[in-house]
Amino acid sequence: MSATSASRNPLSVLKRHLHVACAATALLVGAGDLAGAADLNALIWCDHSDPALLQPFEEANNIKVNVKEFEGTGAGLAIVEQSQPGDWDVMVIDSIDVPRGVEKGLFEPLPEDKLPFADLFPQVKMDGSTIVGGKRYGITEKFGYNTIGFNKTKVDPADMQSLASLTSDKYKGKVAIYDYYLPVIGMAALAIGKKTAELTEADLPAIKAELLKMKANAKLVGEVTASQTALATGEVDILVGGGEWVTAGLAKENPALDFSIPKEGAVLWSQSLAMFKDSKNKDMALKFIQYIMSPEGQARLATSSCYWGMPSNTKAALTDDQKKTLRFIEQPQFLARAQAYPAPNADLDKKMQDVWTEMLQAQ
Amino acid sequence: MNTAQNNGHALRWALVAPALGWTLLFFVLPFIAMGLSSLTAHEGGGFTLSNYSQFFTNASYWQAMVNSLQVTAIVTVVSVLLAYPFAWILAEMVPVRWQRLALMLAVLPFWTSYVVRSYSWLLVLAQNGVVNRALTGSGLISEPLQLANTRLATTIGFVHFFVMLLTLTIFANLKQLSPSYRRAAADLGAGPVRTFLHVVLPLTLPGIMVGAFLTFVLCIGDYITPQILGGNNELVMPQLVMMQIGRRGDFPLASALSIILMVVVTAAYLACARWLKIERT
């Protein structure tokens, strides 16, 4: 067979293309490994993807922070389970879910002496969930409230001091509900006088009844973007489950948006940073956590373009305007009235989600 | 078998192998994994059928399937009813030299991101959106209608997308139809309506059915449109599946619900298989 005829044989062509494809793949994989070795890999929520937050750290340490966003602890842990040990260095996680990562053997204890625990708001240290077996696995980096977000030019701010307003005829069709079952179930529990930290299965029928009353008044149940858009565009005037995380970021464009901590209380949310036990770059991972917890890092995280929230470090380098928008000075009173984020066990969690599903399907 | 035949046989397998490998790797194996996962308990990991039994015993799960089927049926029927005359006009009334441009304009919305298009509809249908402003401005209504965050909004978003898809499949079918069929019908004394009902429509049925089936499959499995436009005022199956994954990471239940959805799609395929002649569209 001549060289020319061989080159025209479809099998030879296919074989040659396969060789080229294999070589290209090997190059890409090799390049990927090289890039991975020099980088810090972080599983994050969207507020950590803001270049204004990451760039100063990257420049100071001459490192690239590779981020992967996820929504929901289940989805985040699934990403980790599908990865190789050592693929990830740090993770942002709901503070109440830190034990889930510890149970799976994923996290490394954090060195308390190298992190500014003394500067944190005491109520957001979340020792109950960030300390497991006497060791600290997570540090709260940001927090806020699932409460009532509203447009103060459209509703009576005095009404927003009570959760009962959410189910009153006065605001029928003017309400949106944030689509996340745990905090809103927490709010429903507060509305019927239950403590969020003590919820049991026996409380679910009453909570469901309250949720159905809220749904009857609501125009929509939306995830972050949808509920934020609904409030910002005037589609609704009240957001159940909203708070500074919705209103603060929009304050410049829409100063009429505000939030209240009603007399019944609000649900305290918080997010933590954890380090992976199998991280190949633990020193840099710790540096990243230290940066995020520093006054500068805290200010940038608190005012991230994705969503604002309160920095857990009392020394966060926020401007006066930013502090005013976040109502920084009022935090001690707010925290005193806030209740814990519901942290159900797996069985109760499932039942709560089913109650939420029933609420969504109710007409 | 001689050497030439052997080579030909090997070549055919070599050419088919990538497609077979692809299907095996990205459909068969994941499907088996999903099937095994659906039979596993979320907590503990033992064998269980409870992921399936939950669907039949939990009314709100069952309702998600009912909602999915209702929305899909409405979208499919409305899309066919709108797309057929549209394709007919393109194929029969638009001069041939303009047909390419007309088709391109018809599918122009495909060029926009699906998510962006859905959010655009949300703004159009919102309380302060174009539609409500036009209706209140013209005095037809005094109070804005709730159009966004409803099943109607979901249906509009879907129909906007699938009319384009159906138009393409029906147009292709109409163009393949030889004019001699219509001439023969006319020679035999059939008027335009009778020719359409007894000749054109039956011959274009495969195109309609292929488009309708694609609409059904894509619509019943879509998460984005109902999530953005439906306002979560009711759940459809893909939303229910996603809900199991988000916080709790209940992949076994999500797998079981996905397989149930696949069974429904398979049943729909079998129901209209006799009309599904994809090679003719």
Task: Look at residue A118 and tell me whether its pLDDT is greater than 70.
Answer: yes
pLDDT greater than 60 at residue A10: no
Cα angle B23, B26, B27; round to 5: 65
Domains contained in chain B, number: 1
- pLDDT score recorded for residue B1: 55
* Residue A22 confidence (pLDDT) above 90: no
Contact B64 A223 (CB under 8 A): no
Instruction: Tell me which chain A residues have a C-beta less than 8 angstroms from the C-beta of B59.
Output: 358, 361
**pLDDT of amino acid B8:** 84
Q: What is the reported pLDDT for A21?
A: 45
Q: Does any domain span residue B48?
A: no
Chain B's closest residue to A81, CA to CA, is B249
Percent share of chain B, pLDDT over 70: 97
Res. A6: pLDDT tops 70: no
Residues 151-210 of B with CB under 8 A from A: none
Place B271 in a pLDDT band, splitting at 50, 70 and 90.
Answer: confident
**Inter-chain CB proximity B232 and A360 less than 8 Å:** yes
CB contact under 8 A, B149 and A71: no
Q: Does B235 touch chain A (CB under 8 A)?
A: yes
Predicted pLDDT at A16 = 44
Range of the domain at B77: 64-280
Average pLDDT over residues A127-147: 96
Class of domain A145-268+341-361: alpha beta
Please tell me the CATH superfamily of domain A38-143+270-329, with its number. Periplasmic binding protein-like II (3.40.190.10)
Section A69-87 average pLDDT:
93
**CB–CB of B135/B192 below 8 Å?**
no
- Contact yes or no for B228/B119 (Cβ under 8 A): yes
Residue B276's pLDDT is 67
**pLDDT tens-digit series, residues B34-60:** 999 999 998 878 899 999 999 999 999
pLDDT for position A79? 95
pLDDT band, very low/low/confident/very high, at B114 (cuts 50, 70, 90): confident
- Residue B94: predicted pLDDT: 92
Position B279 scores a pLDDT of: 52
Question: Residue A62: which pLDDT band, with cuts at 50, 70 and 90?
Answer: very high
What is the pLDDT at residue A38?
66
Please give the residue of chain A at the shortest CA–CA distance from B59. A358
B121 touches chain A (CB under 8 A): no
**Residue to substitute from B60, B123, B136, interface A, most A β-carbons within 10 A:** B60
Task: Report if residue B4 sits inside a domain.
Answer: no
Asked whether residue B204 carries a pLDDT value surpassing 70, the answer given is yes
B224-244 tens-digit pLDDT: 999 999 999 999 999 999 999
> Residue B266 sits in a domain of what CATH number?
1.10.3720.10
Predicted confidence at residue B103, as pLDDT, reads: 87
Instruction: Determine the residue among A357, A358, A359, A363 to mutate to test chain B binding: the one whose Cβ has the most chain B Cβ atoms within 10 Å.
Output: A357
**In this complex, is the C-beta atom of A60 within 8 Å of any C-beta atom belonging to chain B?**
no
Where is average pLDDT lowest: A10-19, B153-162, B192-201? A10-19
B266 Cβ under 8 Å from any chain A Cβ: no
| Residue of B9, B15, B115, B232 to mutate for A, most A C-beta atoms under 10 A | B232
Q: Which residues in chain B touch residue A14, judged by CB atoms under 8 angstroms apart?
A: 14-15
Please tell me the predicted confidence (pLDDT) of residue B112. Answer: 85
State whether A74 and B15 contact (CB < 8 Å): no
Query: What is the spatial distance between Cα B214 and Cα B165, in angstroms, rounded to a whole number?
Result: 8
Looking at residue A3, its pLDDT comes to 37
Neighbour count for residue A157 (Cβ, 10 Å): 12
* Interchain pair B246, A71: CB under 8 A: yes
B127, B240, B246 member nearest A75 (Cβ): B246
Mean pLDDT of chain B: 91
CA distance between the termini of chain A: 75
Q: pLDDT at residue A19 above 80? A: no
Tell which wins on pLDDT, B247 or A14.
B247
Higher pLDDT, A275 or B205: A275
What's the mean pLDDT in A339-360? 95
Tell me chain A's radius of gyration from C-alpha atoms.
24
Give residue A252's pLDDT.
85
Cβ within 8 Å of residue A238, ≥6 positions away: A148, A149, A150, A151, A155, A160, A165, A166, A171, A174, A175, A176, A231
Which tops the pLDDT comparison, A119 or B274? A119
pLDDT in tens, A192-203: 999 999 999 999
Closest CA to A109 of A282, A271, A233: A282
Is there a domain that residue B44 lies in?
Answer: no
Q: What is the mean pLDDT of residues B181-191?
A: 93
AA letter at A277 = K
* Measured distance CA(A82)–CA(A43) in Å, rounded: 13
In this structure, of A169-178, A283-292, B5-14, the range with the lowest mean pLDDT score is B5-14
User: Residue A223 — pLDDT band, cuts 50, 70, 90?
Assistant: confident
Q: What is the pLDDT of residues A85-97, one digit of tens each?
A: 999 999 999 999 9
With contact defined as beta carbons under 8 Å apart, do A215 and A362 qualify?
Answer: yes
Mean pLDDT score of chain A? 90
Distance CA B281, CA B279 (A): 6
Task: Compare A311 and A8 and report the one with higher pLDDT.
Answer: A311
Nearest to B176, CA basis, from B184, B168, B188:
B168
Over residues A118-147, the mean pLDDT reads: 96
Q: Using 50, 70 and 90 to split pLDDT, how confident is the model at A35?
A: very low
The answer on pLDDT for A23 being more than 60 is: no
Q: Which residue of B has its CA nearest to A9?
A: B11
Report yes or no: B53 at the A interface, CB cutoff 8 Å: no
Please check whether residue B246 touches A, CB under 8 A: yes
